[in-house]
Structure 1
């Protein structure tokens, strides 16, 4: 996406990020549905287009091919910009994406007792569950977002309940209205 395309966008792009299990996909889906944005579930995109370089047996996860993923996403972002459509993408990491792609970065945070139950329900093994709980406690994704993007576009929001999720969608609605007003 060229700088010219970036500045002429009619709709903003949002990244919803956080530790696995905090509700990224559910929140991003609601934002997309209610606010008319295209939802990109990056994890699903990786699976569909086989953007991986092997498998980590210990963590029971694929090893990401970042170049393949970013090339694929660059095309999607350009197509959406050409169609005057904004994007809401969700992924558990944010540092690999170019800063110019996003106008707002929502970092979802969840209490560890809630997160533990969600990860347990997903069938995560103990090692994977422990690593993700420690990442949430240590604010790993939040710090990664603050280091990767302009601090003014990074917002930490709670994601423990359906009500908090709905509140986050409403905050995005208000933010998008302001973004559109400022950029028209």
Structure 2
């Protein structure tokens, strides 16, 4: 049996998922990991912290001293996650999104944060001044939101504010309700 449909020549799609996978993305400091952990706890989905996974499996090509950051080996990451994400049931958090195939996610949440709040969070993390400035500029220019809108179907991308614990709790509840509706609609 071939990998293509003999009549149309199309590559067959995975069967529809019964349980969704969600990408939570945003500028560093917007609350991705905390929100993702809370969503996983509220929904029973499994949380995958891509930054932590990359560190554990050394998925880097190089290191950029000026920005105090590693350069991701995208191929290693994609190979690692392909089979993990296919069946659904995951909450993935990462600061960028365009690297991931559209087919992996049923919902893409882009967290946004007020620049003053974001600045304080990044300072608390002891980011160097250049890294703080770059991330603040990314948030001002809505770089991650624009990447998400360019990389995924418009109807699955939502922008949520993440300035406070109340915002996070509201975002988690909204996502929990969405997950329940997805499960009902795909049972």
State TM-score, norm by structure 2.
Answer: 0.92
Please list, as runs of the form range in 1=range in 2, the aligned pairs for 1:1-184 lying within 5 A after superposition: 4-7=13-16, 9-78=17-86, 81=87, 86-184=89-187
Structure 2 residue ranges without an equivalent (≥5) = 1-10
Deviations 1:60-87 (A, max 9, x none): 1111100000000113224xx2xxx600
Structure 2 Cα separation of the partners of residues 56 and 112 of structure 1: 24
Structure 2 Cα separation of the partners of residues 5 and 49 of structure 1: 27
With over 3 angstroms needed to count, the CA separation of the structure-2 counterparts of 1:54 and 1:6, relative to structure 1, is: farther
**Superposition CA RMSD, Å:** 1.2
Q: 2:8 corresponds to which residue?
A: none
After TM superposition, the structure 1 stretch with the greater mean CA deviation from structure 2, 111-120 or 171-180, is 171-180
Deviations 1:69-127 (A, max 9, x none): 0000113224xx2xxx6000000000000000000000000000000000000000110
Structure 1 Cα separation of the partners of residues 147 and 15 of structure 2: 23
Q: Measure how far apart 1:177 and its partner are.
A: 1.4
Looking at secondary structure, tell me which structure has more helix per residue. 1
Question: Is the radius of gyration larger for structure 1 or structure 2?
Answer: 2
With over 3 angstroms needed to count, the CA separation of the structure-2 counterparts of 1:5 and 1:180, relative to structure 1, is: same
State TM-score, norm by structure 1.
Answer: 0.93
List 4+ stretches of structure 1 deviating above 4 A.
Answer: none
Partner of 2:96, secondary structure, is: coil
User: Is the Cα contact below 8 Å between 1:6 and 1:100 reproduced in 2?
Assistant: no
Partner of 2:29, secondary structure, is: coil
